Amino acid sequence: LPGNQPPPPSTTIPPPADPPITTTSTPPPPTSLPTGAPPPPIPFCATIPGNITYSNTRLPDPFLPIGGGTRVSTKGQWECRRREISELFQRYELGVVPPKPSSVTASFSGGTLSITVANGGPSISFSVSITAPSTGTAPFPAIIAYGAPSIPVPNSVAVIRFNNDDIAVQQNTGSRGSGKFYTLYGNNHSAGALAAWAWGVSRIVDALEITPSARIDTTRLAVTGCSRNGKGAIVAGAFEPRIALTIPQESGSGGSACWRLSDYQKSQGQNVQTASQIITENVWFSKNFDTFTSQVSRLSVDHHLLPGLIVPRGLLVIENTSQEWLGALSSYQCQRVGRRIYEAYGVPNNMGVSQVGNHNHCAFPSSQQAELTAFFNKFLLGQGSTNTSIVRTDGSFNFPETQFIDWTTPTLA
């Protein structure tokens, strides 16, 4: 994959010593709002507390608002909790995903969509390539691929290639603040690369909406990426509601995996990427995340809540049991738990989890083809009757569920 390196062989990774996870002994880190984080106003929602002290070794209850009070029991209340979860991810992990800038203009020529963005100050320009599908009638459904797709794309779906590294560089920890996002918002902006790329995806959708000559139907958009770019894809789906279908592939830690579960795997002696390791490798997360990584129990969110930002839109999580570093137990169980939000919402089959091994990293195995086809058919190609009831792994995990979950799944009215 362009711009990507394969995961390091397991023997070369120095296992960083995880500090012991304690629950209450250390005072929580400061929780002030990073500059420029305006939560979208929803008049009937309670105010999100500015200072949150949180400690929970289990996966946070998706349905319990952070300010306390009663559990969410309706879809209307979920909109408040959704806003809250979004805010918490931005404060403590990702950094701020800025709202639409004051100016977005675009032009399409020779298969290239050129996008210019300004926000009162300097402007930036970036472009994506659009490959029209070989069949079907315009405007076409399309998939935005971070880098290039590493899943098979139906021949009736256009492919939009997004050079996400151009927006936020992901070389190593020294790349923080590099890329066009930071030209616009400043090198010290709180956003890590995942947040900056999600902002970039939103600008691509803005541009498609005002550029009919690109011939893309913006009500039928998917996003995908593999590995580090899979982390990007799931975050883009979480922050851009105009994405109809989100397909993260082998995103592992920082994507489909839960920090708490990856730490658990690590504690069991497995060579799994953890929060404390990931911040030493790259700039995917905000600097604000650093203070939590040695004690993930203090995080008021974990990645089982990402599906809660996407619900009820389509989400297919593709994972691989043969890459120890990804955290197979963590990725599978995290998203299986996250799918409970889709169950509560009454649309369990809008989210699939499929984990299959015995193939290389980012090499899509044919055994997952029918599942992928079903999600494309349902969410991009308008075939509602397709079977997307998918939760499966070829792994066998001894998952101590009560150690991580102490809540039940409601039915949201």
Query: Interface with ligand MCU by CB under 6 A: which residues?
Result: 4-8, 227-228, 252-254, 273, 281, 326
133 vs 232, beta carbon nearer ligand MCU? 232
Query: From the CB of 122, what's the least distance to ligand MCU, in Å?
Result: 30
Residue 15 token pair: 């296992």
167 vs 311, beta carbon nearer ligand MCU? 167
Strands in 163-244 per DSSP E = 216-226
Angle at CA of residue 272, ends 7 and 146, nearest 5° = 45
Q: Which of 127, 150, 227, 253 is catalytic?
A: 227
Cα dihedral value 80, 85, 91, 96, nearest 10: -80
141 vs 149, beta carbon nearer ligand MCU? 149
Q: Is 106 helix (H, G, I), strand (E, B) or coil?
A: strand
* Strand (E) or helix (H) holding 124: strand 123-131
Q: Report the distance separating Cα 295 and Cα 387, nearest Å.
A: 40
Q: Which of 189, 303, 304, 361 is catalytic?
A: 361
65 vs 252, beta carbon nearer ligand MCU? 252
Query: From the CB of 231, what's the least distance to ligand MCU, in Å?
Result: 7
Does residue 361 have an active-site annotation? yes
Angle at CA of residue 154, ends 153 and 159, nearest 5° = 50
Q: Report the distance separating Cα 163 and Cα 184, nearest Å.
A: 17
Residue 259 token pair: 């920090």
Other C-beta atoms closer than 10 Å to the C-beta of 383 total 12
Query: From the CB of 376, what's the least distance to ligand MCU, in Å?
Result: 23
Which DSSP category does 218 fall into? E
Query: From the CB of 347, what's the least distance to ligand MCU, in Å?
Result: 28
108 vs 284, beta carbon nearer ligand MCU? 284
Which DSSP category does 248 fall into? E
6 vs 76, beta carbon nearer ligand MCU? 6
Query: From the CB of 253, what's the least distance to ligand MCU, in Å?
Result: 6
Query: From the CB of 326, what's the least distance to ligand MCU, in Å?
Result: 6
Angle at CA of residue 73, ends 69 and 79, nearest 5° = 85
The residues, any chain, with a CB within 8 Å of residue 237's CB and separated by 6 or more, are 223, 243, 246, 248, 309, 310, 313, 315
Query: From the CB of 281, what's the least distance to ligand MCU, in Å?
Result: 5
253 vs 293, beta carbon nearer ligand MCU? 253
Does residue 227 have an active-site annotation? yes
Closest CA to 145 of 124, 129, 132: 129
Residue 324 token pair: 């120890």
256 vs 350, beta carbon nearer ligand MCU? 256
CB 302 within 8 A of CB 259: yes
DSSP string, 303-366: GGGHHHHHTTSEEEEEE-TT-GGG-HHHHHHHHHHHHHHHHHHT-GGGEEEEE--SS-TT---G
Query: From the CB of 104, what's the least distance to ligand MCU, in Å?
Result: 29
What are the CA-CA distances from residue 199 to residues 15, 189, 289 (Å)? 33, 13, 19
Give the active site residues.
Answer: 227, 361
